[in-house]
């Protein structure tokens, strides 16, 4: 079940846009990267584990940097 949730968190929106609105609705690469990063964040919030201590701080910093890109 988790794999299916992950797949659709990542694929649903871009796939629907392309199928329903055509090629012009396909997001740019940067928008796709942001969408994927957010999907991964949501998936890990639901299924993942949190690192402890210093690892948690480093992971949070990496996540913030990636979301700004």
In the numeric block, the tokens 């942001």 are attached to: 34
pLDDT number for residue 65:
77
Could you tell me the residue range of the domain that residue 48 belongs to? 2-68
DSSP 8-state assignment for residue 23: G
* pLDDT, tens digit (0-9, with 9 covering 90-100), for 11-52: 999 999 999 999 999 899 999 999 999 999 999 999 987 666
Residue 17, C-beta contacts closer than 8 angstroms, at least 6 positions apart:
25, 26, 27
Residue 61's pLDDT band (cuts 50, 70, 90): confident
Report long-range pairs for 61-64 (Cβ below 8 Å, ≥24 apart).
63/37
Using the structure block, give the residue that is written with the tokens 């890990």. 44
In the chain, the number of structural domains is: 1
pLDDT at 56: 62
Residue 57 has pLDDT above 80, yes or no: no
């Amino acid at each position: 079940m988790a794999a299916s949730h992950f797949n659709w968190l990542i694929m649903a929106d871009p796939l629907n846009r392309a199928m329903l609105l055509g090629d012009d609705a396909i997001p740019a690469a940067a928008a796709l990267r942001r969408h994927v990063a957010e999907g991964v964040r949501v998936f890990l919030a639901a299924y993942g584990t949190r690192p402890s201590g210093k690892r948690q701080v480093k992971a949070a910093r990496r996540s913030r940097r990636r979301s700004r890109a």
